Amino acid sequence: MMKTKYFLMMIMAVSLFSIAARQTELADEIIGTWKYSISNVPPEYESGYMTFEQKDNKTVGYMGEDKQPMQELSIDQGKVSFQTSFDGGLIKYTLTQKGDSLKGAVSTPYGEFPVVAVKEAKK
């Protein structure tokens, strides 16, 4: 009876460590610079870069060359979401990561637009 309890506890512990390791692995996959393009928007907003970094054991992100911080960044099981400030309003990004690509939508006060991002090769 005691061996059975011990065995079950070990299985649970290994499972929890595996889940934690997988989440870290997914977060690590997003680290880097991504070139994005947004469809059906004015040319000055069509493309740019988003950057994800590891800072104080936490993933943080920035938009553009001026490194505007991403707010409420969430990365969970391939789903990436965040928002940025723009002219006093908020722009919400909802993306799905598959390997070196992100696809999803940008929600603005003017509507929702498709967005695609590709991870840049490490320099």
Give me the pLDDT at residue 36, please: 96
Q: Tokens 């309003």 appear where? A: 89
Residues 57, 36, 96: CA angle, nearest 5 degrees:
60
Over residues 13-36, the mean pLDDT reads 62
Instruction: Report pLDDT digits (tens) over 79-96.
Output: 999 999 887 789 999 999
Q: Which residues contact 112 (CB under 8 A, 6 or more apart)?
A: 105, 106
Is the whole-model pTM more than 0.75?
no
Q: Is residue 47 a contact partner of residue 54, using CB atoms and an 8 Å limit? A: no
User: Does 24 have pLDDT greater than 70?
Assistant: no
Q: How many domains does the chain have?
A: 1
> What confidence tier does 21 reach under pLDDT thresholds 50, 70, 90?
very low
Domain limits for position 68 = 2-119
CATH number of the domain residue 41 falls in: 2.40.128.120
Q: Which residues contact 76 (CB under 8 A, 6 or more apart)?
A: 23
